[in-house]
């Protein structure tokens, strides 16, 4: 469904991603893990072209983009890819001058050109799905961080994207509020939502993701099924990084 091949990304002269490959099947959940500055958030943002790589290819369904230093992808292609992806940011990025309901409706009405009644119905259904429908008329500033992130997830889901991209969805939250968001993401995973997440939260990655990519200094050090990465990593650098998870593996992995 999504394939990135030999992706290079530079910020100035600094090479942030180096020949990165990624394949994501429909209905799967993949976590990008690694230390700060490893390139995981940048790689995530390359999928919906918030960051434009300097080399490599991106395939999303029937769309294909080849990157180079000398040209940028056509605007129509960029917009088509963004319409197929939903983005959940670390810091929520809700519109403070819109209610919870209006935040979810906004993209449907402005970008998709839905009428108000249709957008309202869709938005209310999604707010119910993420357990925040009772706050539909509230302002974002009155919500907890966990509630705001659940609204952000509903907004990202509103246009029915092919893939949900989550950039550190729990890192701005304390453990109690993070649990609310994890439960929503777990439900989406069980329903077959295709997801790619960059996260420092190894427990989130271990409990939800089917596959894991461990990045370090812009290079994929190791990739594979999450259970193997977290319990039997092949590379020493991976083993050192995931060792902090040893005492909190999902119960199903106890053996």
Residue ranges making up the domain that contains 58: 2-84+162-253
Residue 246 scores a pLDDT above 90: no
Whether residue 117 lies inside any domain: the answer is yes
Residue 250 scores a pLDDT above 60: no
CATH number at residue 49: 3.40.50.300
Residue 139 scores a pLDDT above 50: yes
Residue 248 scores a pLDDT above 90: no
State which of 106, 138, 160 marks the end of a domain.
160
- At 249 the pLDDT is 55
Mean pLDDT confidence for 79-97: 91
- Looking at the structure, tell me whether residues 148 and 174 fall in a common domain: no
- At 175 the pLDDT is 79
Mean pLDDT confidence for 130-147: 94
Mean pLDDT confidence for 15-24: 95
pLDDT tens, 146-189?
999 999 999 999 999 999 999 998 887 887 788 888 889 999 99
- Looking at the structure, tell me whether residues 103 and 149 fall in a common domain: yes
Structure-token pair, residue 80: 């088509």
Mean pLDDT confidence for 133-137: 95
Whether residue 45 lies inside any domain: the answer is yes
- Looking at the structure, tell me whether residues 78 and 172 fall in a common domain: yes
State which of 160, 176, 211 marks the end of a domain.
160
State which of 135, 160, 185 marks the end of a domain.
160
- Looking at the structure, tell me whether residues 77 and 171 fall in a common domain: yes
Residue 73 scores a pLDDT above 50: yes
At residue 252 the predicted structure's pLDDT band, cuts being 50, 70 and 90, is very low
Percent of the chain whose pLDDT exceeds 90 = 78
Helix orientation angle between 100-110 and 116-129, rounded to the nearest 10 degrees: 130
- Looking at the structure, tell me whether residues 111 and 171 fall in a common domain: no
Q: Is 181:170 a contact under the CB 8 Å cutoff? A: yes
At residue 42 the predicted structure's pLDDT band, cuts being 50, 70 and 90, is very high
- Looking at the structure, tell me whether residues 75 and 173 fall in a common domain: yes
Mean pLDDT confidence for 100-109: 95
| Residues with Cβ within 8 Å of residue 212, at least 6 apart in sequence | 30, 31, 32, 33, 205, 223, 224, 225, 226, 229, 230
- Looking at the structure, tell me whether residues 242 and 175 fall in a common domain: yes
* pLDDT averaged over every residue in the chain: 91
- At 136 the pLDDT is 96
- Looking at the structure, tell me whether residues 186 and 148 fall in a common domain: no
- Looking at the structure, tell me whether residues 155 and 171 fall in a common domain: no
- At 172 the pLDDT is 75
Mean pLDDT confidence for 27-53: 94
- Looking at the structure, tell me whether residues 16 and 40 fall in a common domain: yes
- At 86 the pLDDT is 94
Cα–Cα dist 30/224, whole Å: 10
Whether residue 89 lies inside any domain: the answer is no
Residue 255 scores a pLDDT above 70: no
Number of domains in the chain: 2
Residue 202 scores a pLDDT above 70: yes
171: burial class by Cβ within 10 Å (0-12, 13-18, 19+)?
A: middle
- Looking at the structure, tell me whether residues 155 and 167 fall in a common domain: no
- Looking at the structure, tell me whether residues 174 and 194 fall in a common domain: yes
Structure-token pair, residue 50: 């918030």
């Amino acid at each position: 469904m999504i394939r990135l091949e030999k992706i290079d990304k530079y910020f100035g002269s600094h090479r942030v991603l180096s020949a990165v490959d990624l394949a994501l099947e429909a209905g799967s959940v993949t976590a990008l893990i690694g230390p700060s500055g490893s390139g995981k958030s940048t790689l995530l943002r390359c999928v919906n072209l918030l960051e434009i790589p300097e080399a490599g290819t991106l395939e999303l369904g029937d769309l294909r983009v080849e990157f180079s230093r000398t040209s940028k992808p056509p605007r129509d292609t960029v917009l088509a890819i963004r319409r197929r992806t939903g983005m959940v940011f670390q810091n929520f990025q809700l519109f403070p001058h819109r209610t919870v309901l209006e935040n979810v409706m906004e993209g449907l009405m402005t970008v998709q050109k839905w009428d108000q009644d249709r957008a309202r119905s869709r938005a209310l259904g999604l707010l119910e799905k993420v357990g925040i429908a009772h706050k539909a008329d509230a302002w974002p500033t009155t919500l907890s961080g966990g509630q705001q992130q659940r609204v952000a997830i509903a907004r990202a889901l509103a246009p029915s994207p092919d893939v949900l991209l989550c950039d550190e969805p729990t890192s701005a939250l304390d453990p109690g509020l993070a649990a609310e968001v994890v439960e929503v993401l777990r439900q989406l995973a069980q329903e077959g939502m295709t997801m790619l997440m960059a996260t420092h939260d190894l427990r989130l990655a271990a409990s939800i993701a089917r596959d894991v990519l461990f990045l370090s200094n812009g290079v994929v050090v190791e990739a594979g099924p999450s259970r193997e990465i977290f319990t039997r990593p092949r590379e020493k650098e991976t083993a050192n990084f995931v060792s902090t998870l040893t005492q909190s593996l999902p119960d199903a992995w106890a053996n």
